Amino acid sequence: MIRVGIAGIGFMGMIHYLAYQKVKGVKVVALCETLRERLEGDWRAIKGNFGPAGTMMDLSGIAKYDKLEDLLADHKVDVVDICLPPAAHAPVAIKAFKAGKNVFSEKPIALAAADATKMVKAAETAGKQLLIGQVLPFFPEYAWAYRAATSGKYGRLLGGHFKRIISDPQWLKDFYDPAKVGGPMLDLHVHDAHFIRLLFGMPRSVATSGRMRGEVAEYFVSQFTFHDPRLVVSAQSGVIHQQGRGFSAGFEIHLEKATLLYDFSVLDGKPELSVPLTVLRADGKVERPPMTSSDPVDSFVAELTEAAKSFKSGRPSALLDGQLARDAVVLCHKQTESIKKRKPVSV
């Protein structure tokens, strides 16, 4: 049995807690949170952009701490699940490794690539695992696309375009603070940066044009260049100040023998699947593979199941690897650098 202690009971902490209830061989044994009412089970004030609303929770049998040091000192905790604001990921993870714990942390791994590197090295020094919750490869459409692209069934990868756009998240006061959240680049686009890195490897350079909001990129379009000149990869992401479209995401992935399409949006508060996962085959046939679930929480169940397998086997997951998550942060910073310099930059 893997025993987990969750640090931070906000929206993601709640989602992780709910997801763990469906993961075999894992038990949440401790929670750490500074808000007393949440430690007592009153999660009604927790809100997010997907999944169930916060409610009253029965937390009997779970250790409750308001100080991180007490959670780290709990010998019953095997894994510390970090659901704190991004700026806290690095220092808390490093403390957890020193306390002899494995770590699963929400994305992004850190706000700065240097801090991400420190986390990776701290895990290696402690002989512990660092897994990062880059959940995108576990959403059904992306999971299917990843398997199709890496299986060789449709031939070699030729490239693709990825998009992820939101309306202005006015309820998040620190969203545009580079020292706390990192803006759309590190909070939103990091998902696609990670997926691009996963599919195509690390680009050699990137050219990005976009609008800045203070020190963070607000809206941007990027073209990635790889050592293989046949790869054509681009991405579009950021905030557009039209509140009627809360969210939009999708991809077009090109392979030698097929093109994979997907497009989803939330318009006027309602989900709209404009293009379900579709395979355009080279022989002219069109396929729409069935998806396993439309509940986004199930994607986190799949992610945490993968993490549990990794912790049990001692072999870090290739999808949740800390170094891979670090590379995604590096890409995000290189894209911002390209915007500021108004020219391509080497990665």
Q: What is the pLDDT along the chain (347 residues), one digit of tens a residue?
A: 999 999 999 999 999 999 999 999 999 999 999 999 999 999 999 987 677 888 999 999 999 999 999 999 999 999 999 999 999 999 999 999 999 999 999 999 999 999 999 999 999 999 999 999 999 999 999 999 999 999 999 999 999 999 999 999 988 889 999 999 999 999 999 999 999 999 999 999 999 999 999 999 999 999 999 999 999 999 999 999 999 999 999 999 999 999 999 999 999 989 999 999 999 999 999 999 999 877 889 999 999 999 999 999 999 899 999 999 999 999 999 999 999 999 999 99
DSSP secondary structure code for residue 69 in this structure:
H
CB atoms within 10 A of CB 139: 22
19-24 CB contacts, 8 Å cutoff, 24+ apart: 19/297, 19/300, 19/301, 19/303, 19/304, 20/304, 22/301, 23/301, 23/304, 23/305, 23/308, 24/305, 24/308
pLDDT at residue 173 in the model: 83
All domains in the chain, ordered by first residue: 2-133+301-317 (3.40.50.720), 136-293+328-346 (3.30.360.10)
One-character DSSP codes across 162-196: EEEEE---TT-TTTT-TTTT-HHIIIIIHHHHHHH
pLDDT at residue 52 in the model: 82
